[in-house]
Amino acid sequence: DTEVTQTPKHLVMGMTNKKSLKCEQHMGHRAMYWYKQKAKKPPELMFVYSYEKLSINESVPSRFSPECPNSSLLNLHLHALQPEDSALYLCASSQPLPDRFRGNIQYFGAGTRLSVL
Amino acid sequence: SQQGEEDPQALSIQEGENATMNCSYKTSINNLQWYRQNSGRGLVHLILIRSNEREKHSGRLRVTLDTSKKSSSLLITASRAADTASYFCATRNTGTASKLTFGTGTRLQVTL
């Protein structure tokens, strides 16, 4: 099973709402990632979790709050978002450490298309 | 920005032709990977080339790497309409552990 599952597929929220994005993988990967992608742009890294601990925060505004409850699940809690936060949010997973043999190949979910009104 | 540059930004070819896209990056790397993204979907890993390798093949894909020029190319031979997608190079830079840095991407359109 090489699947990363993201829910929901689409989300529309107002600027005062609180919502959560969910990501799940059962490949035994111990690194999980959140990316933000705007149209016709590459993915931008937001957060990296390694062994359920936050290892990288790319200076993301506090209205985005990640959580890794266990090795298979990754959440992104959203609160008081702005219209410019509308984007495709991608989750990915990989083996966590510098791995000379596997090279940090990342497996991506299909994404959540978020619209902030 | 550490982001790599890809060219062309967009490429339109006919089915059966070859497609070549190029990637340049800025720092020393452990490896370089290519990913494909169908419209509005997740990315799919295609191929990985390590910093000590110069060329790699996988099916209809051929990747080259020139670390002296900090550049890579992806060749798709005998293209098909199903190859229509955006293609991104991604580098795992030395010292950055689990982090990949993605290039700006090439949008490939293959017409019948």
Whole-number Cα distances in Å, A101 to A63, A108, B49: 37, 20, 11
Interface of B with A in 13-72 (CB under 8 A): 30-31, 33, 35, 40-45, 48, 50
**A113–chain B Cβ distance below 8 A for any pair:** yes
CA B43 to centroid of chain Cα atoms: 12
- Is B105's pLDDT higher than 90? yes
pLDDT tens for A24-81 read 999 999 999 999 999 999 999 999 998 999 999 999 999 999 999 999 999 999 999 9
Split at pLDDT 50, 70, 90, the class of B66 is very high
Pairs of residues, one from chain A and one from chain B, whose beta carbons lie less than 8 Å apart: 69
- The pLDDT assigned to B15 comes to 97
Res. A84: pLDDT tops 70: yes
Q: How confident is the model at residue B99 (pLDDT cuts 50, 70, 90)?
A: confident
CB pair distance less than 8 Å for B48 and A96: no
Given this model, what pLDDT does residue A97 score? Answer: 55
Kindly indicate the confidence band of residue B45, based on its pLDDT and cuts at 50, 70 and 90. very high
Tokens 């006919």 correspond to: B14
DSSP secondary structure of B80-94: -GGG-EEEEEEEEET
What's the rounded mean pLDDT across residues B26-32? 89
Tokens of A110: 């299909």
Is the pLDDT confidence value at B93 over 90? no
